[in-house]
């Protein structure tokens, strides 16, 4: 069963907002056995929308549309869909009652333009919006299912979970789709592919392997498709085990999670704690860690120490070290991580100091120069990395590199126990 997602709105095409709806919808559809054929973003233009709908109907069985359902003149999706199907507009009592209820709940007057929210194409089945005034619409035309939903993410998500997903599952007999993701760190995509080439070549036709590289990591995703869940699951587990055994030295997790979550899970399991000392990353590493629920079981916190004074007073970096070697140096990184371990009393610590850019570089320390240190009570590792001149990328790459170094130190410490 194939689906296509169409997001409507000029704000997406000019980069004013990021289309997060499509990624979320794709994941939810995949979970129930619906494969995405294509994702498109189109402007608030009638001709463009009509063309997109016609083309999608040739490729997919299910067409999901978000956006353009508001009460203002620039929201043209409903009337355009009605024209696409060659039907008129009618007022839905169900949708109108929902709009009236929402305005009465907040004790606000309902304008005529709000009443227009209850106008729908004559051939649609209403999907009530419990979180807004724009109703969703379900169409079953010529063997194709079309679903139009609001572009507001939380409205669309509730509608998908409460109504659309259950209705799709009851309408179609859907196949089984099972994914298994292995997170690897510290080795490039091409090297991994070479190491597991024979395993990949032996995969049965119903299992596919994808390489998903990101900064400092590669996710290996096995995807199995079929009618028999037991057979698909057994095949996925068998080949995942073979891959993990082959590249176990770089495996950080056997699930689809980012590196910082893999580290948190491992450290929580082992009863270990972590602190940080950040300079050029400005708290970004702490953000990555604390965005995950339960991070406080592992993460003590740390210091964002940009200035020499804070490096000295909070972390105990020697003034002589800073004067002689500068803030961006092996010596300073070493003393920062040592200070974090000592002052914050954690089992492990990491420190980052560098020149994020775009200015501030010197001939001997160009923009992108970063020193990273990770440490436990028994071992300290300090490494110099040189990135480019893009500030945001340098911050992200520094953070991921630091986490990868920490992950390596954690695994090495485990072997010594």
Of 238, 207, 212, 235, give the one whose Cα is nearest residue 223: 207
CA 163 – CA 379 distance, rounded (Å)? 55
Q: What is the mean pLDDT of residues 37-41?
A: 96
Position 163 scores a pLDDT of 96
pLDDT digits (tens, 9 = 90+) for 109-154: 777 777 888 899 999 999 999 888 899 999 999 999 999 999 999 9
Radius of gyration of the chain (CA): 27
Cα(188)–Cα(29) distance, integer angstroms: 30
184-to-114, 250, 352, 383 alpha-carbon distances in Å: 51, 5, 22, 20
pLDDT digits (tens, 9 = 90+) for 220-276: 999 999 989 999 999 999 999 999 999 998 999 999 999 999 999 999 999 999 999
Give per-residue pLDDT as tens, 355-391: 999 999 999 999 999 999 999 999 999 999 999 999 9
Could you read off the pLDDT of 283-292 as tens digits, one per residue? Answer: 999 999 999 9
Q: What is the mean pLDDT of residues 211-215?
A: 90
Is the per-residue pLDDT at 87 higher than 90? yes
Specify the fold of 176-253: Alpha-Beta Plaits (3.30.70)
Which range, 66-70, 115-119, 401-405, 412-416, has the best average confidence (pLDDT)?
401-405
Residue 417 has pLDDT above 70, yes or no: no
Distance CA 259, CA 60 (A): 35
Tokens of 222: 């096995």
Q: Exposed, middle or buried, 364 (CB in 10 Å: 0-12/13-18/19+)?
A: exposed
Please, what's the largest Cα pairwise distance for the chain?
80
Location of each CATH 3.40.980.10 domain in the chain: 2-171
Question: What is the C-alpha separation between 220 and 200, in angstroms, rounded?
Answer: 11
Domain with CATH 3.30.70.2860 in the chain: 176-253
DSSP state of 61: S
- From residue 107, give the alpha-carbon distance in Å to each of 101, 102, 103, 289: 10, 9, 6, 42
**Average pLDDT for residues 203-212, to the nearest whole number?**
96
List, in order, residues 6 or more apart from 103 with CB less than 8 Å away: 109, 110, 114
Question: How is residue 175 annotated by DSSP?
Answer: P
pLDDT of residue 106: 74
Contact 299, 268 (CB under 8 A): no
> Yes or no: is domain 2-171 CATH 3.50.50.60?
no
What is the CATH number assigned to the segment(s) 259-416?
A: 3.90.950.20
Distance between the two ends of the chain, CA-based, in angstroms?
51
Mean pLDDT for all residues in the chain: 94
Q: Are 30 and 5 in contact (CB under 8 A)?
A: no
Phi, psi of 151 (to 5 degrees): -85, -15
CB 122 within 8 A of CB 88: yes
Q: Strand order of the sheet with strand 217-226?
A: 207-214, 217-226, 176-185, 251-253
């Amino acid at each position: 069963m194939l689906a296509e997602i169409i997001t409507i709105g000029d704000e997406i095409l000019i980069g004013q907002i990021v289309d997060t709806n499509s990624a979320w919808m794709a994941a939810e559809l995949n979970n129930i056995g619906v494969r995405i054929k294509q994702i498109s973003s189109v402007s608030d233009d009638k001709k463009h929308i009509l063309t997109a709908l016609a083309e999608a109907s040739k490729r997919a069985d299910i067409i999901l549309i978000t956006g353009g359902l508001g009460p203002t003149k620039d929201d043209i999706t409903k009337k355009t869909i009605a024209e696409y199907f060659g039907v008129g507009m009618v007022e839905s009592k169900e949708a109108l009652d929902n709009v009236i209820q929402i305005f009465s709940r907040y004790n606000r007057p309902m304008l005529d333009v709000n009443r227009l929210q209850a106008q729908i194409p004559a051939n649609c089945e209403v999907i009530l919006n419990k979180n807004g005034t724009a109703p969703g619409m379900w169409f079953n035309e010529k063997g194709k299912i079309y679903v139009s939903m609001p572009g507001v993410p939380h409205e669309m998500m509730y509608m998908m979970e409460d109504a659309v997903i259950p209705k799709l599952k009851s309408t179609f007999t859907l196949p089984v789709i099972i994914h298994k993701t292995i997170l690897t760190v510290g080795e490039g995509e091409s090297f991994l592919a070479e190491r597991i080439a024979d395993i990949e070549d032996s995969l049965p036709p119903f299992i596919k392997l994808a390489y998903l590289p990101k900064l400092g990591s590669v996710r290996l995703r096995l995807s199995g498709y079929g009618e028999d869940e037991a057979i698909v699951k057994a095949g996925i587990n068998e080949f995942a085990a073979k891959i993990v055994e082959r590249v176990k030295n770089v495996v950080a997790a056997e699930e689809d999670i980012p590196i910082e979550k893999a580290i948190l899970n491992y450290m929580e399991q082992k009863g270990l704690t972590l602190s940080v000392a950040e300079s050029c990353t400005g708290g970004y590493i702490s953000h990555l860690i604390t965005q995950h629920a339960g991070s406080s079981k592992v993460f003590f916190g740390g210091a964002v120490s940009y200035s020499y004074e804070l490096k000295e007073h909070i972390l105990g970096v020697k003034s002589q070290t800073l004067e002689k070697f500068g803030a961006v140096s092996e010596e300073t990184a070493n003393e920062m991580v040592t200070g974090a371990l000592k002052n914050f009393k954690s089992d492990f610590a990491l420190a980052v100091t560098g020149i994020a850019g775009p200015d501030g570089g010197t001939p001997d320390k160009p923009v992108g120069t970063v020193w990273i240190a990770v440490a436990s009570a028994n071992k300290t590792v300090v490494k110099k990395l040189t990135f480019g001149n893009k500030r945001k990328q340098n911050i992200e790459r520094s953070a991921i590199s630091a986490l990868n170094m920490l992950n390596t130190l954690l695994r090495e410490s485990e072997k010594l126990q």
